[in-house]
Amino acid sequence: MRVEETHDIAACQAIRRAVFIEEQGVSEAEEMDGLDDDCHHYLLWEGEIAIATLRVKPMDETAKIQRVAVLKAHRGKGAGALLMQTVVRELPQDGFSKAVLGSQVTAIPFYTKLGFAVYGPVYDDAGIDHREMEMTLAPPVWD
């Protein structure tokens, strides 16, 4: 498996459509929010098949990780963790000192294992309970 930053927004949106719209019932209007052009996008590939995606919205020195999605057939096999770990490791080199995300409440244990900490109350996003999470990023390592 390999993680790559991508400009293939359609491939990212196809995974998000399968996970968020078709599987979780999020409306297309909420999922396709018009912010993709303002974000960096990543795909996780298994061979020639894109199986997971996320996007990062830059907010000064904070990276807001959004739209983390793994195709159903590939969950529970480490794909999401590999995608997140790879991207989080690269963020400091892009000038970010903190990463934040809005986690579905059911996914909090996943992000906690990756080093994120919960803060703030539960809130509704697209009909799904979420909580904010954050991580202080290690300073960049220059070779």
Pull the structure tokens for residue 41. Answer: 């996008």
E strand segments, the chain: 2-6, 40-46, 49-59, 62-70, 98-104, 117-125, 128-136
* φ/ψ of residue 141, rounded to 5: -105, 120
Low-confidence winner among 46-60, 83-97, 127-141 (lowest mean pLDDT): 127-141
* Section 122-143 average pLDDT: 87
Q: Is the pTM of this model over 0.95?
A: no
* Section 35-61 average pLDDT: 96
Low-confidence winner among 5-9, 112-116, 138-142 (lowest mean pLDDT): 138-142
Pull the structure tokens for residue 142. Answer: 């220059």
Q: Cα(131)–Cα(38) distance, rounded to whole angstroms?
A: 23
pLDDT at 68: 96
Pull the structure tokens for residue 67. Answer: 């739209």
Phi-psi region for residue 120, left (φ > 0), alpha (ψ -120 to 50) or beta? left
Band (138; pLDDT cuts 50, 70, 90): confident
Q: Cα(2)–Cα(46) distance, rounded to whole angstroms?
A: 7
Inform me whether the pLDDT recorded for 58 exceeds 90: yes
- Return the CATH fold of 2-136: Aminopeptidase (3.40.630)
Q: Cα(33)–Cα(70) distance, rounded to whole angstroms?
A: 19
All structural domains of the chain with their residue ranges: 2-136
